[in-house]
Amino acid sequence: MIQISPAIAIPDSEIILEFVRSSGPGGQNVNKVETTVQLRFDIKGSPSLPDAIKQRLTSLAGNRVTTEGILMVTARRFRHQARNREDALERFIHLVQRAAVPPKERRKTRPTKASKERRLQEKRRSARIKSLRRDLPEGTE
């Protein structure tokens, strides 16, 4: 059981860990040891998450979510399978925790009377400056 927050917990059975041979450094073990970890989590089919969190998680994860709604987190930072497994789980937990926080609701604000007046004064000033740049009409030289 992975505890995301006091109210949200995801059972281990919903998370699939797959091990793949890693590209990159590894010396003599590079073609023998499967150190890369691919964590898969079915967002759409998960009964553990509320719909609002599922939607935020899908948008936060971006291109890490397949068209079927499966989140894939790949960890290959370390040479050891155990450390990559921990890394993938940490990144998954962090992503779900970010999705669990609802976005702040925007409160509409209105400009103050003084700020409107300052804006209009600046517009008048810049219009005056630009008018001085214009050529004089013919015959007024």
In the chain, where the domains are located? 2-100
Q: What is the pTM of this model?
A: 0.69
pLDDT computed for residue 107 by the predictor: 93
pLDDT computed for residue 141 by the predictor: 57
CA distance linking residue 72 with residue 138, whole number of Å: 73
Architecture, CATH, for domain 2-100: 2-Layer Sandwich (3.30)
pLDDT computed for residue 136 by the predictor: 72
Cβ atoms of 50 and 43 within 8 Å: the answer is no
